[in-house]
Structure 1
Amino acid sequence: MDADIPSDGRLRDAELQARARVWASPGAPSLGRLARHAVALPAGQVRWALGRLPNTALDGLSGEGALDPADAVKALRGTVREASAGWVRDQLAALGPSGAELAGLLRDAEGLTPRGLADLLNDEPVLPDPVPAHAVRRALEKHLPGQVTEFDPDPLAVTPLHQTHRGVVRDGRAVVVRVLRPGARAGMRDDLRLAANLVAPLTLLPQTASVQPMAVLRSAARRAVEQTDLRHDARNTAELSALLDGRLKGLRLAEPVLESRGVIAYALPDGAVPLAESDADVRKALPALLTLVVEAALADGVFHADLRPEHLFALPDGTLLLAGCTAAGRLEPALRRAFLDYITALFGGDPAGQVDALDRLGAIPSNADRAALEADLRAAPELSPLRLLRGGGDAVRVLGDLASRHGLRVPSGLLGWARALLTYRALTRHLVPDMPIIQALLPLVPRLGDINRRLTEAESG
């Protein structure tokens, strides 16, 4: 019998951090998982070579007339780059749920993932095959025996770790049922341990100090532990519902009615349809989504860390329903204060204030040239307040370039939130393709003063 998990968010977070350290620590790897990786690598290369490389090469090298040597080398490099992206994508697909989850992270991390690979993962997302209906029924009976009396065998959504179906529970209520994919928890745990064995020696190299590979790995492990126990989904939803009651205009959080480690059911109101099948005006709910990920993080220290379009439903009254929170995160007050000061300095056109806030966040290495960083921030026209308030489409790219140039790092305490911001960015891009990320954050700017006041009151109280 699985031990229950605490309802208190901070106790849950402590337990998740402890389990993440276990999952992401060096140790004896699973022999079966090692064999899966050993097969996946050549399988991805062979699949790409046989299925795609010939056409890729012909497309890159064909054309009117003969290519001069420089153009031929350029075309060959493009072919090799595309082929490399292709076999990495196919290798990830061969690894099952954990490979698909990593592919999603690489796809969302625009600017950090090589462009060829990011473009390919956008065009051809890595998703495992749907779980067969009989396996879903077996999972329902194992985790919630007799509770789900009906379910639609055709899934509403298939993700690397979960599968979602419509269903009916014993009291006759319509629900949306999320089922953990068989083997997903063990596969994630084994892959994280294998990664820890590979990463641990790198921590001895001085040049990896700013990258913090083990901190990144343990942040991923914490997320994996949480997402593969759906009881956390129910607890997270309940906590956010109580915390943000009345503050989510145009958005409702669905009520969890059944929960277990492998299955969770959310109440589905009459007339609810998946967002992808509706013509709802999603822009009305964007401020609420921003509240869940950004405002709640800064003002309350808790945030939704896994926004996904497949969790959204349109309701007849024009509002949206969010069914679930498979991962939540927390920020300590000192980090929240420093990040608030950074955002205020960014939109206020204060490069010195930005550098000071970044330093307090722990993002600037001890050997960095602070004066040069401030000069580069001051010299970037894309970061001017006027350009930011007009949408700031190039601001993220410029900030990424500056971070790379000056060796800036994401503080370990912000790693989970950084991933949440990536999922928020991916969601807003999916819902409103023409909206830059800075524009999606603009509704927060007028509320920064109020958030700062609430944080000050919480600290003094």
Structure 2
Amino acid sequence: MNPLTWVLALVTALAVASLARFVARRLLGAPVGWARGLVVGLVFYLLLSPMLTRAASAAALVDAATLELTASPEVTVAVILLVLVWAFLLGVALLLLAEMLAPTGSVRDPITWVRDAIAARRRTRRYVQVGAIVTRHGLRRLLRGDPRGADGTRIGRALVEVLQDSGVTFVKFGQVASTRGDLLPPALVTELATLQSSVAPEPWDRIAAVLDAELPGWRDRLRVEEDPLAAASIAQVHRARLVTDEVDDDGRPVELRVVVKVQRPDAREQVSVDVDILQRLARTLTSRAAWARDMDVEGLVAGFSTALVEELDYRREAENMRLVAAATASSDVRVPVVHDAESTARVVVMEEVEGVTLDRGAAFLATLPAQRRAELARTLMASVLHQILVTGVFHADLHPGNVVVTPDARLVLLDLGSVGVLDRELRELILGLLAAFDAEDNETAVTLLLRLLPPGEYDAYALRRDLGAAMTVIAGGAGVGSAGLALLFDVFRTHRLALPPHVAGALRTVGSLQGCLAILDPGADLADLVRSGTRQVAKDLVDLDEVRGLAVSRGIALGSLATSAPGVIDAGVRSLALGRPTRSVVGGLAGIARAAMAELVPTIVAGILVLAAVMLFAVPGGPMLTQTISWATYLAAFVGAAGTALVLRVLFRQAAAT
């Protein structure tokens, strides 16, 4: 065969295979991958020629001596059509066998296999490294104890050493875990709070390579300083000047002072490996230790992993900055302006904020009048409460290192990689909770706290008593700061409960302000600031038109419910009394029946067709289609093909479902 013939044969085979795959998808009523579909088509293509040869001989379509057709064209086409159908069904049967032996998705494509093999090798090497660190610090032995008991401090110290030596991702996890006082015992929280990350800056040429990939031609618009302003685990920040399209009075382009946050080149790869290891370790620990299950260590790691992966996309951080900027638009607290045109998934460009962070601002704050410092403390608290209770979008990682005081004594919030979002119902519940703290209304506070909890099994009486005792201590002087929240979280932990993440985040944000407020105004009282801020928010939220609208809409809904309730109750009682199921029960049973019939009917029809084919094969004599095949035999073959097709469809759907 010449090359052209080979090419034509290959094209024909692929065309036939593609058509067979399409028909197979329609027949089976389920997705068929390209690889398996093409296999069906190729089997069909390869079987077609020998099957046609055998069929022509068996049906005496061709004279063996002269190789001339002895049957009419119509009969020849009918026999060929039957052969096509059975050749295709044999290919589908092979597909069913492949599905039963190796379900779709269980066999990886070669590219994925190679990529996963490389990742597994890298993960194994990292596993060995982390395992050696765990063994060196004796954590494996200590974890046989219970961190909720007397061993808590020793386990916490060993855990801190392990996380510190394991790298920045593990340190970041420990820092996040230290904020989950609602899940972890105080001893662990105290030790984890001491974690500090120290990261060497990335060489400039590697940072420039990221900029080249993310912002082609960036050198025409950005004048970036090579020495970093700050270096963190995932990114580092450089000062720069952004060339704008505006010109000054001298006709020169206006340049803005900005900072460029650039993701480290290997950050995604490193985070992916470390997160995978953390999740596997959490699953192992959960399966072996009751205290790990009680603390929901696996859920804690899962939440951290999701948040960390989201932080790798700086477009999300840019959006967070816009959301919080809108939430703080009416206050004296602001966030840096993002330059969207120069921001991507791995690079974000924002205005440079002049000033000093609170953790380094003692000298500057000492120059301000006491009255101004008190105003700044009230402003920060009011802004945070407005974010949480009014807009529902709040900075979820507020600490003194993320708050800047500018030379003109104003506040700017930094690092919005993590924000919390609360819907209206949760905002109202938290506002009511803070108002109950203010009024020392323990009963209302406990009721609202119970409403914040997700559905679950717990001792409601004991929980109410324990929460009431905690409320009494908080109202008596502990306040809603870190100490007061620790009491609440201790109750939740004792009862093996956890607040919804964003609710816990909102309460932690309020409690964590204690550190910022103590720096701004050493004489500030967190409880007083929360009390006055909550009252102001409640006052601002009382929009008479909105309240009137809500009252009308909910009143109409309640009225409609009250009007229809007697009839609904009467009908329900009568149905139960007469032994008739209600509509919901009937609907549920109907759904089950429909699902059962969807599988049962094709099975019954397939059985009938196969039985009919067998009976037709048994019919003796009758009209002949060809010299050797009767019409009854031909119809039996076609009816049998239809029954076989239905059987294959039912079996394939069952195999795919399991």
With the length of structure 1 as denominator, give the TM-score of the two structures.
Answer: 0.71
Task: Tell me which residue corresponds to 1:279.
Answer: 364
SS in 2 for 1:318: coil
Match of 2:491 among 394, 397, 402: 402
Aligned match of 1:256: 338
User: Equivalent residue of 1:39, what SS?
Assistant: helix
Asked if the contact 2:442/2:472 (under 8 Å) is kept, the reply is no
Cα gap change, 1:402 to 1:48, in 2 (>3 Å): closer
Q: In the alignment, what sits opposite 1:96?
A: 167
Aligned to 1:127, the other structure's residue is in SS state: coil
Q: Which has the higher helix share?
A: 2
Give the aligned partner of residue 226 of structure 1. Answer: 310
**3-state SS of 1:32 partner:** helix
Which of residues 200, 210, 227 in structure 2 aligns to 1:139? 210
Conserved in 2, the CA contact under 8 Å of 1:41 and 1:91? no
Mapped to 1, the partners of 2:482 and 2:456 lie a distance apart of: 27
Matches within 5 A, 1:271-310: 272-273=355-356, 275=358, 276=360, 279-280=364-365, 284-291=375-382, 293-310=384-401
Q: Distance in 2 between matches of 1:194 and 1:124?
A: 20
Cα 1:137–1:419 change in 2 (3 A) is farther
Give the equivalent residue in structure 1 for 2:224. Answer: 151
Answer yes or no: is the 8 Å Cα contact 1:45–1:91 preserved in 2.
Answer: no
Q: What code does the residue aligned with 1:444 have?
A: G
The answer to whether 1:351 aligns with 2:424 is no
Partner in structure 2 of residue 173 of structure 1: 256
TM-aligned CA deviation for residue 229 of structure 1 = 1.1
For structure 2, the residue ranges without an aligned partner over 5 or more in a row are 1-115, 140-148, 245-254, 554-658
- For the residue of structure 2 that corresponds to 1:170, the secondary structure is strand
In the alignment, the residues of structure 2 paired with residue 168 and residue 140 of structure 1 have an alpha-carbon distance, to the nearest angstrom, of: 15
Alpha-carbon deviations, 1:374-397, whole Å to 9, x = none?
Answer: 36625764222x5266x8674233
The answer on 1:235 being equivalent to 2:235 is no
Alignment of 1:49-128 (within 5 A): 84-109=155-180, 118-123=189-194, 125-128=196-199
What secondary structure is seen at the aligned counterpart in 1 of 2:238? strand
Q: Secondary structure at the match of 2:364?
A: coil
Say if 1:200 and 1:183 are closer, same or farther in 2 by CA, change over 3 A. same
Q: What amino acid sits opposite 2:336 in the alignment? A: A
What is the CA–CA distance in structure 2 between the aligned matches of 1:82 and 1:129, rounded to whole Å? 30
1:373 deviates by: 2.5
Structure 1 residue 182 corresponds to structure 2 residue 182: no
The letter for the 2-side match of 1:256 is: V
Q: Secondary structure at the match of 2:262?
A: strand
* CA-CA distance at 1:99 after TM superposition: 0.9
Cα shift readout 1:300-339 (whole Å, capped 9, x = no counterpart): 2221223354444332321123344222221122222222
TM-score, normalised with respect to structure 2:
0.52
RMSD: 4.2
Question: Aligned with 1:402: secondary structure?
Answer: helix
Name the SS of the counterpart of 2:542 in structure 1.
helix
Cα deviation, residue 261, structure 1: 1.3
Structure 2 partner of 1:42:
132
Alignment CA distance shift 1:395-1:119 (3 Å): closer
AA of the residue aligned to 2:388: A
Deviations 1:196-243 (A, max 9, x none): 455568599999887666654443244223321111222121222234
SS of structure 1 residue aligned to 2:196:
coil
Residues 184 and 34 of structure 1: CA distance in aligned 2, closer, same or farther (over 3 Å) = same
Shift of 1:357: 0.9
Residue identity in the other structure for 2:488: L
- Kindly state the Cα deviation for residue 296 of structure 1 after the two structures are TM-superposed: 1.6
Distance in 2 of aligned mates of 1:379 and 1:255: 42
Query: Residues 176 and 266 of structure 1 are in contact (CA less than 8 Å); yes or no, is this contact kept in structure 2?
Result: yes
Amino acid at match of 1:138: A
How far did 1:154 drift?
4.2
Q: Structure 1: how far apart are the matches of 2:268 and 2:439?
A: 45
Query: Is the contact between residue 175 and residue 265 of structure 1 (CA under 8 Å) also seen in structure 2?
Result: yes
Task: Note the alpha carbon deviations across 1:335-376, whole angstroms, 9 max, x for none.
Answer: 222222222223222222122212211258433132662366
2:228 aligned with 1:164:
no
Aligned to 1:55: none
Query: Structure 1's 402 and 375: CA in aligned 2 closer, same or farther, altered over 3 A?
Result: closer
Contact 1:156/1:165, CA 8 A, preserved across alignment: yes
8 Å CA contact 2:275, 2:305 repeated in 1: yes
Corresponding position of 2:42: none
How many Å separate the matches in 1 of 2:422 and 2:470? 31
Residue 426 of structure 2 is matched in structure 1 by 335
Separation in 1 of the partners of 2:184 and 2:524? Answer: 21
**Matches of 2:311 and 2:263, distance apart in 1:** 9
Following the alignment from structure 1 to structure 2, what is the Cα–Cα distance between the partners of residues 45 and 434?
Answer: 47
- Are the counterparts in 2 of residues 329 and 416 from structure 1 also a CA contact under 8 Å? yes
Which amino acid is the alignment partner of residue 178 of structure 1?
K
The answer to whether the Cα contact below 8 Å between 1:215 and 1:412 also exists between their aligned partners in 2 is no
C-alpha change, 1:313 and 1:243, in structure 2 (3 Å) is closer
- Cα distance 1:338–1:210, how it changes in 2: closer, same or farther (>3 A)? farther
Structure possessing the higher relative contact order (Cα contacts under 8 Å, 6 or more residues apart): 1
After TM superposition, give the deviation of residue 286 of structure 1 in Å: 3.7
C-alpha contact 1:100 1:127 (8 A) present in aligned 2: no
Contact 2:481 2:514 in 1 (8 A): no
Larger radius of gyration: 2
- Counterparts in 2 of 1:402 and 1:118: CA distance versus 1, 3 Å: closer
| Partner Cα distance (1:417, 1:392) in 2 | 12
Distance 1:31 1:291, change over 3 A: farther
Any idea what the Cα deviations from partners look like across 1:408-459, whole Å, max 9, x if unmatched? 4212553554665576556556767886764663442322423653699388
User: Residues of 2 paired with 1:296 and 1:304: CA distance?
Assistant: 8
Quick one: structure 1 residues 241 and 174, their matched pair in 2 at CA, closer, same or farther if it must change by over 3 Å?
Answer: same
Distance 1:433 1:106 in 2: 28
Whichever residue aligns with residue 362 of structure 1, its letter is: L
CA drift at 1:110: 5.7
Q: Which amino acid aligns with 2:349?
A: A
* Cα shift at 1:83: 5.9
Q: Specify the SS of the correspondent of 2:236.
A: strand
AA at the equivalent of 1:409: A
Write the distance in 2 (CA, Å) between the matches of 1:422 and 1:185: 32
Aligned to 1:11: none
Of stretches 355-364 and 281-290 in structure 1, the one that deviates more from structure 2 is 281-290
State how far apart, in whole Å, the 2-side matches of 1:45 and 1:457 are: 61
Partner SS state of residue 211, structure 2: helix
CA distance in 1, matches of 2:294, 2:443: 22
State the partner residue of 1:450: 539
What is the CA–CA distance in structure 2 between the aligned matches of 1:433 and 1:160, rounded to whole Å? 32
Measure the CA separation in 1 of the matches of 2:294 and 2:184: 18
| Partner SS for 2:325 | helix
Q: Which residue is equivalent to 1:20?
A: none
The SS at the match of 1:256 is: coil
Relative to structure 1, the CA distance from residue 394 to residue 424 in structure 2 (aligned partners, 3 Å threshold; closer, same or farther) is closer
